[in-house]
Amino acid sequence: MTVVAPPRHPGEHGNRGRREVRTVLGSRRSIAPGEGQASMRVLLVEDNAELVALLVKGLARSGFSADTVGNAADAAYSLAAMRYAAIVLDLGLPDQDGLSLLRSIRGRGDSTPVLVLTARDGVSDRVNGLRAGADDYLVKPFAMDELVARLQALLRRPGNLLGRELTFGNVSLETVGRRVFVDGTVRVFPARETAILEILLRRGGNVVPKRLFEDQLFGLSGDVGSNAVEVYVHRLRKMLQDCGATVKIHTVRGVGYLLAEEKAAA
């Protein structure tokens, strides 16, 4: 049984290997994966590290930023903390069958589009996947372009996250377009401040642990400076204040942060 995805020789670093990777990934768009882009955030649930590395790179080239987790438990944790434009879900996970995870996602009423990846090619697996709530299905091995095309198709469907807004007080955020509105006016916030705002808006009125910001801001495996979150929260707090937001970020010492609506002074 072949569970291997492209490229055939992922370990190669010579010119030949590199050219091969480029061929596999294709070159659809020139959007840089850098900050400040209106990138769509997807959760990639896949335990094959080589495949993950390829997918992250390929997705970034097409304007997606991917958070990656290697098992169902971590996926559940990420999904509880964050709303994603789409989920790319491998069915063969080390701790739980991907289908069970998918059923629990749908069981919670979460309708985030899910693209299932699997080495299984049988008709019954495909049917089970779709029955469990998958929106689409890709059998390994597949071409990166194909994955991107399927994801884009899912995101064009009505009822998905495109255009969805999170609102608290007079502050709104388009979850996919990444535009922030204060009192109906578009405000330009940098990517990380926007990411912090999104987390706070999703939990409006509830305390968000600091650790959660670290995970979401800098990737689940990244190194975070000890006061980085404070710095970004401080900036965001000032930005909100400067544009007349009716919400304010409160620090809950030793725990995290809380977004609360301020009562008008007069």
Least spacing, CB of residue 129 vs Ca ion, in Å? 14
Residue nearest to Ca ion (CB): 92
Q: Which is nearer to Ca ion, 70 or 133 (CB)?
A: 70
The least distance separating Ca ion from the CB of residue 117, rounded to whole angstroms, comes to: 8
Nearer to Ca ion, 141 or 204 (CB): 141
Contacts of 190 (CB under 8 A, 6+ apart): 35, 36, 235
Residue number, 47 or 230, with CB nearest to Ca ion? 47
Using the structure block, give the residue that is written with the tokens 């490229």.
Answer: 7
Q: Please, which residue, 132 or 236, has the CB nearer to Ca ion? A: 132
Measured from the CB atom, the residue of 116 and 212 that comes closer to Ca ion is 116
In whole angstroms, the minimum distance from the beta carbon of 81 to Ca ion comes to 23
Which two structure tokens, joined as six digits, stand for 140?
Answer: 């390994």
How near is the Cβ of 235 to Ca ion at its closest, in Å? 39
**Residue placing its CB nearer to Ca ion in the complex, 90 or 214:** 90
Bond before 7 cis per omega within 30 degrees? yes
Q: Compute the least distance from the CB of residue 37 to Ca ion, in Å.
A: 29
Q: Write out the H or E segment, with its range, that includes residue 149.
A: helix 144-156
Contact, 9 vs 20, CB < 8 A?
yes
SS3 call for 166: strand
Binding site for Ca ion (CB under 5 A): 47, 90, 92
Helix, coil or strand: residue 49: helix
Residue closer to Ca ion (CB basis): 90 or 174: 90
Q: Whole-number minimum distance, CB 58 to Ca ion, in Å? A: 18
Closest CA to 182 of 163, 201, 203, 162: 201
CA–CA distance, 228 with 225 (Å, rounded to integer): 5
Q: Nearer to Ca ion by C-beta: 49 or 149? A: 49
**Tokens of residue 98, six digits:** 């991907």
Query: CB neighbours of 81 closer than 8 A, spacing ≥ 6?
Result: 199, 212, 215, 216
Cβ at position 92, least distance to Ca ion in Å: 4
**E-only strand ranges, the chain:** 40-45, 64-69, 86-90, 114-118, 136-139, 165-168, 171-174, 180-182, 185-187, 207-209, 247-252, 256-261
Q: How far is the CB of 119 from Ca ion (least distance, A)?
A: 7
